[in-house]
Structure 1
Amino acid sequence: MKRLEGKVALISGTARGQGRAAALRFAAEGALVVGSDLLHEEAVETQRLIAREGGTALTPGPLDVTDEQSVRAWVDEAVDAFGGVDIVYANAGAVRFGPIDSQPYKDFAFTMRAELDSVWLTVRAAWPHLVRSRGCVLTVGSTAGLTGSLTNHRTAHSASKGAVIALTRQLAAEGAPHGVRVNCVSPGMIDTEGSRDNLLADDHPMSDISGHIPLGRLGHPDDVVNAAVFLASDEAAYITGANLVVDGGWSTVLPGAPNRKAVRT
């Protein structure tokens, strides 16, 4: 039997990157995937890829995870289609970087809304259904929520992801009496379309970061999704309030000289 057989899984941000990888993998594990994204056509393509592999997916209209009505409509469509919700994977987010002395407040507020408010809104909308199903929630933190950085100006990102980790623990406390588990996956540097255009660009100070990662490579979306599948499955039935760091050991060591030449695999 597949690990998520028959589970209804809401996954936000399925147009590309970690969200698309999660949708494909959850469907392969037997979940009925309800995905969505502001990038609607790309999210629909993810649905097509799932169908091509024999999976089941639904992609309602464009989803704005910072808009309460948009989130509620998304959850309602999932319940109407499949009868309930078993898993919420609050993956979607967006970030604007900048140093504290020059970043506009509007960029800080944008990041907090896109990376923190979005999680709260999604979980809140799905909560009654999760209580009924004794389901689970997966949030996405980051190593940015655990440590500071000498090479990336990320006050907003660090604040939002640190708050997501804290929110995860409080949701776990509130969910426990109802059998609702809530866990966080915190990626390090993951090789995605977005990171290649920004943090991994040749002119960015972090472009050679893989040389500083103990395991010697950048992460892949599937590295994160592997952890998420485990936490969503019955194998993790006694785990709640956890923050599983997926970063190749990056956050466990002090900064120093690169231990090897940068590698992208």
Structure 2
Amino acid sequence: MGQHSYQDKTSQQPCAVVTGGARNIGQAIALRLQQDGYRVIVADIVAPKADSLQEDAYQVDLADASATRRVMEEIAERYAVSRLINNVGVVAPALLEEARLEDFDKLMHLNVRSALVCTQALLPTIKAQGLGRIVMNASRVVLGKEARTIYSATKGALQSMARTWALELAEHGITVNCVAPGPIATSAFWQNNPPDSERARRIIDNIPLSRMGQPEDVAQAVSFFCDERSSFITGQTLFVCGGVTVG
């Protein structure tokens, strides 16, 4: 994106990095964190549509480990990052018999490896702030869902890494938590569940709150975990699912 201005690292404005922050849930998270007072740096394969996110955005294929590491190291040099939202992810719906190894590699590289690469690259600057928040965008599929063999594996991996990192980073004042969205009205959801399909109707009918979730509902949960006052909560998963995971 255009010119990236260097931040005075003594500045009081905290910085947050959101991977996959150009669209859908990632965009809602990025915009909410801006409302919360953060300077938000979006890293995504496409440019953000929201005007307020464009100045500090980086276009990068987060499935490319080397390119991702270079971008994150540049961000670490320029900004006093204290929040990292590992949000990026794609779905490859398939029943067990139809799951493809090439999709396994693609989703593991993008959904999981990018989180490891980004966190490793940004961790020194997060530690330097004396306070840090890392949030993973997992999914209710960690509890099981048909036709999600590979996707659920990646989201389960994120959840497990978060619990491990929560223990390792606690002494540095860094918390690590997961949000786990249920059915959220995004372009990806409607692509996999066409609005007029029986599958979509069945999903919506099964939501106790009787509505689809919105990206802003997930952003609310991320905002909570990022707050300085959420300092005694770590290693947890918050399901944002309209009650789907209850009972």
Decide: shared fold, TM above 0.5. Answer: yes
Structure 1 Cα separation of the partners of residues 214 and 173 of structure 2? 31
Give the equivalent residue in structure 1 for 2:9: none
Deviation at 1:207, TM superposition (A): 3.8
Give the equivalent residue in structure 2 for 1:211: 205
Say whether residues 1:116 and 2:115 are aligned partners: no
Q: Which among 49, 53, 56 is matched to residue 58 of structure 1?
A: 56
* More off after superposition, 195-204 vs 28-37: 195-204
Task: Verify the 8 A CA contact 1:79 1:85 in the aligned structure 2.
Answer: yes
Q: Which one has more relative contact order, counting CA pairs under 8 Å at least 6 apart?
A: 2
Deviation at 1:204, TM superposition (A): 5.7
Say whether residues 1:31 and 2:28 are aligned partners: no
1:74-223 aligned within 5 A: 74-82=71-79, 84-133=80-129, 134-146=131-143, 148-149=144-145, 152-203=146-197, 205-223=199-217
Structure 2 Cα separation of the partners of residues 7 and 183 of structure 1? 19
Task: Verify the 8 A CA contact 1:96 1:156 in the aligned structure 2.
Answer: yes
Counterpart code for 2:118: T
Structure 1 Cα separation of the partners of residues 231 and 194 of structure 2? 36
Structure 1 Cα separation of the partners of residues 40 and 237 of structure 2? 24
Deviation at 1:214, TM superposition (A): 1.1
- How large is the RMSD of aligned CA atoms in angstroms? 1.7
Which ranges of structure 1 fall in alignment gaps of 5 or more residues? 52-56, 254-265
Give the equivalent residue in structure 2 for 1:54: none
Task: Determine helix, strand or coil for the equivalent of 1:89.
Answer: strand
Counterpart code for 1:96: A
Structure 2 Cα separation of the partners of residues 204 and 129 of structure 1? 48
Which ranges of structure 2 fall in alignment gaps of 5 or more residues? 1-11
What percent identity do the matched residue pairs reach? 30
Structure 1 Cα separation of the partners of residues 138 and 161 of structure 2? 10
Deviation at 1:95, TM superposition (A): 1.9
* More off after superposition, 183-192 vs 112-121: 112-121
1:6-17 aligned within 5 A: 6-17=13-24
